Amino acid sequence: MHIIPSIDLRGGKAVKLVGGKPGSGIFESPSPLGLLERWESEGAHRVHVVDLDSAFGEPSRGNRTAIASLLSSASARIQVGGGVRDETDVMNYLDMGADAVIVSTVIFSDRPKFERMVSSFPGRIAASIDYEGERVKVSGWTGEHDMRPENAAAVCDALPLHSVVMTDVSREGRLTGVDDRMVKTMRNAVRHPLNVAGGISCPEDIALLAACGVDGVILGRMLYDGRSSLRELVTRFEKHGKELERSDLL
């Protein structure tokens, strides 16, 4: 399993919002690059970067500069997203050094365009399925689509994706634990690597997700609050890949 720390960007700074809502920040750092260096020093092999300004429809020069700095400096593989709407956006990030580009809203707003994007960059686009309850969330989580998350994931499954990212918006940034029922449903819907975000609060949550067949966990507040050491999580779940004991799930 991959342990993937996240860096969310707002105005060129690294932030952590609750449920992605502006004004709900619980963490802020003026140095996204310093965070990247910290995560890499603790063993991160992948990092999840999101341009919140572009996701909210407010692209900023500060975020563009920060992303360019992160991609040019990283030794870890970077997956980056937020407001990606067309092939030019994808190409720009890949040319800058991204390992994968995360796409969400366009999956639902323009399906033919999304399929063209994936066909143009096979194995380099991650389909992000963000949801609250049984409804998909779009446009920086400010809009809603009537498709169920597992159905949205299933219709993407035939495409040559890099991975599928599922985020439970109702739990994101709240440390409320994971919904293993929905995770299992999503796992059964896709053959691609599945990465999970939202609500993860402790190593036991990660162990539960591993038992569900998840390929990676995207961690934010759990790390920023110091609830667990990234180094310890990488050692336990990624480097050794030890089999889960029953006690891990209790």
Q: Which residues are the active-site residues?
A: 8, 130
Q: How far apart are CA 178 and CA 57, in angstroms?
A: 29
**Among the listed residues 106, 224, 102, the one whose alpha carbon sits nearest the alpha carbon of residue 166:** 102
Which distant-in-sequence residues (6+ apart) come within 8 Å of 17 by Cβ? 8, 10, 24, 25, 26, 52, 173
Angle (deg, nearest 10), helices 180-189 and 149-156:
20
Residue 17 CA to its chain's centroid (Å): 14
